């Protein structure tokens, strides 16, 4: 167990009632970066193929296609070469299986972890504090339904990857799938759309609280951990594992179901955010509505005369967004990505409807949150400032 170098301002410790955890050894200011971690392993979601580079997750037009499988896309030859060690696990199989190639995202990620473990003899840069093998698995707590899912994923692993991988024994595979289920991170964009899945052992050391002290955001495929409050030496580094919009009992049910513990943070003890029945409890419904409207805008922006055809849908989406922001602002902690992504979506809808001043106002509110959560120089903020400058 190699502790983090003192200069990093972080150390692993035994957190009372939580097992191991991470704490700061020096002060950190609101918005300050505690650390950045490259992924031990990561995989792009199949639905994002053609939109994002498989290697660096850059979203841009005109990506170059892999000449062999014609399914993977890259910024350039450098990215393609950088990804080959992982892409070769799938390249020929995708061609051979055609439409029948369908491993789960979890199985794809585990395949990459196994390939990396084979060649990675030294401690990896994403394991400065915690080794991949030290991540909690809770394999003994997995219920029948999850075990069946793991078994199906293992079957998929053998079906689609046996040609390129030496498989560990069944017990070790079950443990690895459980570790990834408990410790995997969803890489999301500025609107919280799912781009892929990754494992960051050092970030996995961070415990949960419904009153988080830090937030995890993504820069390409790297995870960045920033303070969402001022922190003093000895403070534990805490993130939220779940959506904090839900009532206390519901949050704890979700934590027990996915992570096998109950939270006893101050928020849970006081149950201060008791929701009224009128509060929206299904943000996904609204997110989908706004996402649909944004897609519609993109499609119709080129032909303004057709915009009227979808105005009703967009107006409905805007009404939803405006309605939900009041409870969002009240119920989510400050600097919540759920709030900033909603302001972003609304801003883009307003801009699409030529309601520029309202669009700029929404963008400014998103920007204030994102400057803390993503850092002021993140590419998302650079792009957002460009959007705001376009009148």
For 198-216, the pLDDT digits (tens) are 999 999 999 989 899 999 9
Element holding 184 (H helix, E strand)? strand 184-188
- Cβ neighbors of 146 (< 8 A, separation 6 or more) are 181
Residue 291: the pLDDT is 58
Closest C-alpha among 167, 59, 46, 53 to residue 106? 46
Residue pair 236/23 in contact (Cβ under 8 Å)? The answer is: yes
Residue 107: the pLDDT is 97
12 or 286: which carries more pLDDT confidence?
Answer: 12
Q: What is the number of alpha carbons within 13 Å of residue 56 lying toward its C-beta? A: 13
pLDDT at 112 over 80: yes
Other CB atoms within 10 A of residue 210 CB: 24
**Which structural domains are found in the chain, ordered by start?**
40-190+194-199 (1.10.220.160), 275-300 (no CATH), 303-390 (1.25.40.10)
For residue 18, name the pLDDT band (cuts at 50, 70, 90): confident
For residue 121, name the pLDDT band (cuts at 50, 70, 90): confident
pLDDT at 371 over 70: yes
As a whole-number percent, the residues of the chain with pLDDT over 90 amount to: 65
pLDDT at 123 over 80: yes
Q: List the alpha helices (DSSP H) in 247-306.
A: 248-259, 266-270, 283-301
Residue 159: the pLDDT is 96
- Report pLDDT digits (tens) over 67-82: 999 999 999 999 999 9
Q: List the alpha helices (DSSP H) in the chain.
A: 77-97, 105-119, 144-161, 170-183, 201-204, 248-259, 266-270, 283-301, 307-331, 337-352, 356-373, 379-389
Q: Considering only 93-97, 228-232, 320-324, 364-368, which range has the smallest mean pLDDT?
A: 320-324
Other CB atoms within 10 A of residue 64 CB: 14
């Amino acid at each position: 167990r190699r502790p983090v170098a003192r200069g990093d301002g972080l150390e692993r410790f035994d957190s009372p009632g939580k097992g191991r955890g991470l704490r700061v050894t020096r002060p950190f200011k609101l918005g300050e970066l505690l650390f950045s971690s490259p992924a031990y392993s990561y995989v792009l979601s199949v639905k994002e193929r053609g939109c994002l580079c498989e290697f660096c997750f850059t979203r841009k037009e005109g990506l170059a296609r892999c000449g062999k499988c014609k399914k993977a896309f890259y910024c350039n030859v450098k990215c393609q070469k950088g990804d080959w060690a992982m892409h070769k696990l799938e390249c020929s199989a995708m061609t051979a299986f055609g439409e029948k190639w369908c491993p789960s995202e979890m199985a794809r990620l585990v395949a990459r972890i196994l390939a990396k473990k084979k060649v990675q003899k030294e401690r990896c840069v994403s394991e400065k504090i915690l080794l991949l093998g030290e991540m909690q698995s809770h394999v003994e707590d997995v219920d029948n339904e999850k075990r069946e899912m793991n078994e199906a994923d293992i079957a998929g692993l053998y079906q689609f990857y046996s040609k390129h991988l030496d498989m560990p024994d069944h017990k070790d595979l079950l443990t690895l799938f459980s570790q990834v289920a408990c410790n995997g991170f969803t890489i999301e964009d500025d609107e919280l759309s799912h781009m892929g899945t990754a494992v960051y052992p050092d970030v996995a050391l961070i415990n949960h609280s419904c009153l988080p002290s830090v937030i995890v955001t993504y820069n390409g495929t790297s995870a960045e951990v920033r303070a969402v409050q001022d922190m003093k030496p000895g403070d534990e580094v805490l993130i939220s594992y779940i959506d904090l919009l839900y009532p206390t009992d519901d949050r704890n049910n979700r934590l027990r179901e996915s992570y096998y513990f109950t939270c006893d943070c101050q928020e849970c003890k006081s149950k201060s955010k008791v929701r009224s029945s009128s509060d929206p409890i299904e943000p996904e419904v609204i997110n989908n509505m706004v996402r649909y409207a944004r897609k519609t805008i993109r499609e119709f922006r080129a032909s303004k005369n057709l915009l009227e055809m979808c105005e009703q849908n967009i107006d409905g989406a805007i009404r939803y967004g405006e309605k939900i922001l009041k409870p969002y602002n009240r119920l989510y902690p400050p600097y919540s990505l759920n709030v900033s992504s909603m302001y972003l979506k609304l801003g883009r809808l307003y801009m699409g409807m030529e309601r520029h001043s309202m669009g700029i106002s929404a963008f400014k509110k998103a920007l204030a949150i994102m400057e803390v959560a993503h850092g002021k120089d993140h590419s998302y903020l650079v792009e957002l400032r460009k959007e705001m400058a376009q009148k």
